[in-house]
Homo-oligomer: A and B are copies of this chain.
Amino acid sequence: MSDDERASQSRTTYRHGDLRGALIAAGVEMAREGGPRAIVIREATRRAGVSPNAAYRHFADRDALLKAVSDTCLGLAADRIEQEQAAHPTTGDAVADARLQLRTVGLGYIAFAREEPGLFRTAFSVPDDLRQALSPAKAGVSGLTPFQLLSLALDALVDSGALPPARRENAEFLAWATVHGLGMLVIDGPLRGLTDPMIDFATERLLDMVDRGL
């Protein structure tokens, strides 16, 4: 007899096992279709098969749950970026590879925004801070956060000689801001109605601009 069976027999839904994780998972699911506003404590507990107040054993309030879901979403963004990088194999040319690495960060980021607008909005709906940009809670399966993936790409660019060290400092901000802005404008800003090819085109031009202007 498995633990699950014993649990569901001797008590109704008493000890959940991983309620915290279940609530976050439910939150991600709600965010997926409705953005941060759709994250609702009572609904999350309902989906986890537990009473509303059980959530307060794991989260101080709704904002705490939202924050946890938001962090998870950032991790998913990191995964999407790494997926994009895996899809673009290296060529052996250090400069070309470094530039491609930066480009794939942008491509993955925009892809995530377009494929999962609700999660993307949720990821950035919580006030953040540079000190926490490296928090493991925001990391994907590989253990790296989106911010770290970007930093690594910029480091590689400097190592390859494609980016003068003098321009390296704070380059994260420029690259990130640029791509982040496009993501936002595409999912609920004025660029929303654009066709996919138009967005692809704008993305390419934007990444060209970063490549050239960094």
Contacts and interface: CB of A to CB of B under 8 A. Distances in A.
A40 interface: no
Contacts of A181: 176-184
B173 A180 contact: no
Interface in A98-119: none
Interface residues of A, number: 43
Contacts of A191: 130, 173, 177
Q: How many copies does the complex hold?
A: 2
A7 interface: no
Interface of A: 37, 124-133, 147, 170, 173-174, 176-185, 188-194, 198, 201-202, 205-206, 208-210, 212-214
Given A37-B37, A180-B181, 7 more contacts: A129-B190, A129-B193, A132-B190, A170-B201, A170-B205, A173-B206, A184-B184
